[in-house]
Amino acid sequence: MAGETQKVIVLTGASGGIGQALAREYAGPGIYFALIARDEARLEALLKEICELGADGEISAIDIRDREALHGYLSDLDARHPVDLVIANAGVTAGLGPNRTRETNADSDRQIDVNYRGVVNTLMGLVDNMQKRRQGQLVLISSLAGMRALPDMPSYSATKAALIAYGHSLRGWLKPFGISVTIICPGFITSPMSARHNGAKPFEMPASKAAALMRRAIDRRKPFYAFPFLLAWGIRLQNLLPTKIGDLFMGGFDVTIDQDPRYRENSDR
């Protein structure tokens, strides 16, 4: 390493817009990154960039759906560089089919496997050693859609809601072991993912600004952080209304999601 390491950070989904912004936000002397995503070329470019900012690190082109490969890598990493912070950021999105037909089986399965199982795979690959050291921090990147489901994005909303429940459970389990858990629910953030979102995106913000807000919540070890403030509180208030009334407010969030170019498999309905 170029200098003394003060913090080791595992970041999944590091090749995406939010992942890259988080890496840049944390990059600096004393930071060692383990950047994980499927796109090796983009990871290499990001690693070069953060090293120029004074950080150090390594990359691993692993699909977080592959539990065996991921756990093998994380075990080796933690033996070499004990991990302080895990940011489970990787995620994918999809929506209903043409003319509001149902989601394809492939789209639904992929979101469940990446957004939920992939996060579980990531965190459980490191939690045993963190328990033994009695220190560490786990961060789950959920979504405002996990707080209030979007009618046109059922599987995405469900997986993000699952992360919220999972994170709350982890926090209660791991607190006695000195491990903190932070759940983050961002709204619309400018990124390649949001560019495929064809619909209203109220209070959309640049990824760099979102990363700064996320870092502040992470550094303060907040149990739960949802933003932007107005949209998050609007959702909280909406959830207090009778269901029939609350549902009336969702009409303005109709959306279609363009196909994710990273996934080309045939879609079995």
The CB density around residue 232, as the number of other CB atoms within 10 Å, is 19
Exactly one of 26, 32, 116, 156 is catalytic; name it. 156
Strands 85-88 and 7-12: parallel
Record the tokens describing residue 107, joined without a space. Answer: 């789209």
Q: How far apart are CA 75 and CA 92, in angstroms?
A: 25
Q: What's the DSSP call for residue 90?
A: -
CA distances from 163 to 66, 140, 166, 184, 218 (A): 19, 7, 5, 10, 16
Query: Beta partners for 205?
Result: 189
- From the centroid of its chain, how far is CA 162? 13
Helices (H), the chain: 17-26, 40-52, 67-80, 105-111, 118-124, 127-133, 154-174, 192-195, 207-219, 229-238, 243-248
225 given a catalytic annotation: no
Could you identify the residue written with the tokens 């549902």?
247
> Which positions ≥6 away from 6 have C-beta within 8 Å?
30, 31
C-beta separation of 116 from 67 below 8 A: no
Active site residues: 156
